[in-house]
Chains A and B, each alone.
Chain A
Amino acid sequence: MNPRYIGRRLATFLLTIFVASTLNFAITRLTPQDPIAALLGRMASRGRTVEDGGEIVARYRERLGLDAPLAQQYVSYLRDLLQGDLGYSLAFFPIKAEAVILRALPWTLGLLSLATLLAFAIGNLLGALAVWPRVPAGFRWLVYLSMPFSAIPYYLLALILVYVFALNWSLFPLGGSFTVGSDRGLNLETLADLLHHAALPVLSVVLAVVGFWALSMRGIMATVLGDDYLIYARARGLRSRRIFSHYAMRNAMLPQVTALAIDFGRLISGQVLVEIIFNYPGVGWVLYNALRAADFFVIQGVTLFMVFTVAVATLLLDLVYPLLDPRIRYQS
């Protein structure tokens, strides 16, 4: 692979993280009030008070070094970040914020990758089949049916799914990621239990995102159908299935992979909110509780985690892309 290509992608990756971290710092320091007082004020406005509020403020101020000059604060902020030090969680003192997030991380990444891959695969397949010649009209209707779902925010869809499938029909658990008290050994039962709990959260994301992919794939495939290499493949008598998989899809997927990278930010935001609805013990749920407890360093840590995850995902896609499109490898 072209080293210049890799170098440029890596530079963009690092720059993105740097810009986002700096923004994060700037936002909390440039507001009229210091962030801790704002959070505590917000809690008070909700009629909740924090015991030892004064002591908390003092400890936060010390940690943030709010009395030091801004430049010095910024340098120590970046230094701590580089060392992976996100500060203490106040709700779970003396556990560090990064530990709280790391504990929740596998749940979020598992749910997110499962939902994203399922939605991407199903949506692209549906959209492509919707315009492929001699495919039953049912597929066309599936795409139309999936369209309205793509307009509804996931977390609202999630609420309805919980109500219908978990509360009314008791088909799925109401929340959580596993049955409390189960042995959680490495066996099929555990896996089934995990999937059972993940089903509704995943379904709400998939339902909402499938239509998005199907719709754009339908447009791309309609163009690809008229491309010369497809007509030429038909002329050579290739089987329709082979043409679909290796000629049409391989090419139509390229812009979709690029779109996936751009869409990742939206996906992770929706995921955070879905976890709240399902009490799923991922990073979104951690964030929700941190916001309610004014746990500043956890809140900051989660937002930095979101930025980092999306940047890593984008970088990975960028590095995989030349394997899918050989033409990229030779461009500078």
Chain B
Amino acid sequence: MVGPGSEVVLEIEALRIHYEMQAATIRAVDGVDLKVRGNEVLGLAGESGSGKSTLALGVLRLLRPPGRVVEGRVRFGDVDLLALEERDLRALRWRQFAYIPQGSMSALNPVMRLRSQFADTLAAHGERMQPAAMQERFTEVLHGVGLEADILPRYPHELSGGMRQRVCIALALLLGPRLIIADEPTSALDVISQRVVLETLAAARQAIGASMLLIGHDLALLAQVTDRLGVMYAGRIVELGATGQLFANARHPYTQRLISSIPDLHDRRTISSDAPEAEAQWLLEGPLQEVSAGHFVRPWQTAGETAS
């Protein structure tokens, strides 16, 4: 097994994304810095509304109005993704970075056979293949996620949720990308399928040696497959470190709470509602501070205590 390299595949700098509506402006992503290294799996945890999905869409340039990147840079290798022309961006997509969507239940075109949706993805990137070669390529990626080629002539609604999720993973593998951004790829599945699909995803990624930014709300699940883990709260990263280190030595109160409430998450209880007055102090201005090698924490304050 090859561990994470030192080369940086994706670098997010001071990224701010706002939803600008008539009544109010929501700062969904409020100054995020993040690096994903070669062959690394970086997890990003947070509750819904913490801005982690918006971050993924922003990086992928898939935001729809009223969402808008107001500040920051996203570097992929040595290209600035946010400054790229639409044509050049399209050429990079999927070949360089693939995406596994949150709602993979509805991500596949309901009126198109799966084979056409696979073929469309190849054709969009100028891959002209004989039907036999195409079939072979599809079979290969489907086997990679534990599916058979006999699903190709089917429509999405004929598959189970778990199968559709695997189809999305297989699609992500199709052009052998350098980076996969997976946005809660298992959130719609039952607990048992979640684990199985996530393991499939991790193994498939390993096989092609891609890096991965894996977004989720279930810390326990993320811990199983990530090298490093970031915790996101109210549009900012509050703690970031090697997965083992973070679990063993969580500093930020929000991280601690996330870890201690792991069973609660399955009861769909939200953490922030427990102690609203404490929450107000969780975010202080100022950069992330390195508390030990590779372990960063944002300053916070709780009643009677100021950290760092």
Looking at A227, A229, A237, A247, the one whose CB has the most chain B CB atoms below 10 A away is: A237
Measured between alpha carbons, how far is A254 from B86 in the docked complex, in Å? 30
Cβ contact within 8 Å between A237 and B93: yes
Could you mark each residue 74-105 of chain B with 1 if its beta carbon is under 8 Å from any beta carbon of chain A, else 0? 00000000000010001111110011010111
B106 part of interface (Cβ distance < 8 Å): yes
Name which residue of chain A comes closest to B122, CB basis.
A236
B156 to chain A, nearest CB (A): 9
B282 part of interface (Cβ distance < 8 Å): no
Total of A-B residue pairs, C-beta within 8 Å: 85
Measured between alpha carbons, how far is A175 from B255 in the docked complex, in Å? 80
Could you say which residues of chain A place their CB within 8 Å of the CB of B121?
236-238
B98 to chain A, nearest CB (A): 8
Cβ contact within 8 Å between A235 and B108: no
Cβ contact within 8 Å between B124 and A239: yes
Could you say which residues of chain A place their CB within 8 Å of the CB of B60?
235
Looking at A134, A228, A247, A250, the one whose CB has the most chain B CB atoms below 10 A away is: A228
Name which residue of chain A comes closest to B64, CB basis.
A226
Cβ contact within 8 Å between A228 and B103: yes
Q: Known pairs A228-B103, A326-B111; list 12 more (Cβ under 8 Å).
A: A227-B106, A228-B104, A235-B94, A237-B92, A237-B93, A237-B95, A242-B120, A246-B116, A251-B110, A325-B111, A326-B110, A327-B157
Do A250 and B109 form a contact, CB below 8 Å, given A228-B103, A234-B62, A236-B171?
A: yes
Cβ contact within 8 Å between A228 and B90: no
Name which residue of chain B comes closest to A329, CB basis.
B155
Sample 19 A-B pairs with CB under 8 A, ordered by A number.
A227-B106, A228-B101, A229-B106, A229-B109, A235-B101, A236-B94, A236-B99, A237-B91, A237-B92, A237-B124, A237-B125, A239-B124, A247-B112, A250-B109, A250-B112, A326-B155, A326-B157, A327-B155, A330-B158
Measured between alpha carbons, how far is A229 from B164 in the docked complex, in Å? 13
Main secondary structure of the interface of A (DSSP, over half): helix
Could you say which residues of chain A place their CB within 8 Å of the CB of B104?
228
Cβ contact within 8 Å between B109 and A246: yes
In the complex, which of the residues A228, A254, A327, A330 contacts B107, with contact meaning CB atoms closer than 8 Å?
A: A228
A39 part of interface (Cβ distance < 8 Å): no
Do A236 and B124 form a contact, CB below 8 Å, given A225-B64, A231-B101, A250-B112?
A: yes
Interface size range on B against A: 35 or more
Task: List B residues 162-184 near A (Cβ within 8 Å).
Answer: 168, 171
Residues on B close to A: CB < 8 A?
57, 60, 62, 64, 86, 90-95, 98-99, 101, 103-112, 116, 120-121, 123-125, 155, 157-158, 168, 171
Looking at A242, A246, A324, the one whose CB has the most chain B CB atoms below 10 A away is: A246
Do A235 and B93 form a contact, CB below 8 Å, given A250-B112, A251-B111?
A: yes
Could you say which residues of chain B place their CB within 8 Å of the CB of A251?
109-111
In the complex, which of the residues A229, A237, A239 contacts B108, with contact meaning CB atoms closer than 8 Å?
A: A229
Do A246 and B155 form a contact, CB below 8 Å, given A251-B109, A251-B110?
A: no
A169 part of interface (Cβ distance < 8 Å): no
Cβ contact within 8 Å between B99 and A232: yes
Could you say which residues of chain A place their CB within 8 Å of the CB of B108?
229, 232
A20 part of interface (Cβ distance < 8 Å): no
B282 to chain A, nearest CB (A): 31
Name which residue of chain B comes closest to A239, CB basis.
B124
Could you say which residues of chain B place their CB within 8 Å of the CB of A246?
109, 112, 116, 120
In the complex, which of the residues A235, A238, A250, A325 contacts B120, with contact meaning CB atoms closer than 8 Å?
A: A238
A319 part of interface (Cβ distance < 8 Å): no
Could you say which residues of chain B place their CB within 8 Å of the CB of A226?
64
Could you say which residues of chain A place their CB within 8 Å of the CB of B101?
228, 231-232, 235
Could you say which residues of chain A place their CB within 8 Å of the CB of B90?
237, 239
B134 to chain A, nearest CB (A): 16
Could you say which residues of chain A place their CB within 8 Å of the CB of B158?
330
Could you say which residues of chain B place their CB within 8 Å of the CB of A242?
120, 123-124
Cβ contact within 8 Å between A229 and B107: yes
Could you say which residues of chain B place their CB within 8 Å of the CB of A330?
157-158
Could you say which residues of chain B place their CB within 8 Å of the CB of A325?
110-111
A161 part of interface (Cβ distance < 8 Å): no
B148 to chain A, nearest CB (A): 20
Task: List A residues 241-258 near B (Cβ within 8 Å).
Answer: 242, 246-247, 250-251, 254
Could you say which residues of chain B place their CB within 8 Å of the CB of A114?
none
A233 part of interface (Cβ distance < 8 Å): yes
A193 to chain B, nearest CB (A): 41
Cβ contact within 8 Å between B110 and A327: yes
Top 10 A-B pairs ranked by shortest CB distance?
A237-B93, A232-B107, A235-B99, A228-B106, A228-B103, A238-B124, A326-B155, A228-B107, A229-B109, A237-B94
Could you say which residues of chain A place their CB within 8 Å of the CB of B157?
326-327, 330
Name which residue of chain A comes closest to B125, CB basis.
A237
Looking at B62, B91, B116, the one whose CB has the most chain A CB atoms below 10 A away is: B62
Could you mark each residue 317-332 of chain A with 1 if its beta carbon is under 8 Å from any beta carbon of chain B, else 0? 0000000111100100
Could you say which residues of chain A place their CB within 8 Å of the CB of B105?
228
B198 to chain A, nearest CB (A): 19
Cβ contact within 8 Å between A233 and B125: no
Task: List A residues 279-332 near B (Cβ within 8 Å).
Answer: 324-327, 330
Looking at A226, A234, A247, A254, the one whose CB has the most chain B CB atoms below 10 A away is: A234
B14 to chain A, nearest CB (A): 24
Measured between alpha carbons, how far is A307 from B90 in the docked complex, in Å? 51
A223 to chain B, nearest CB (A): 12
A332 to chain B, nearest CB (A): 15
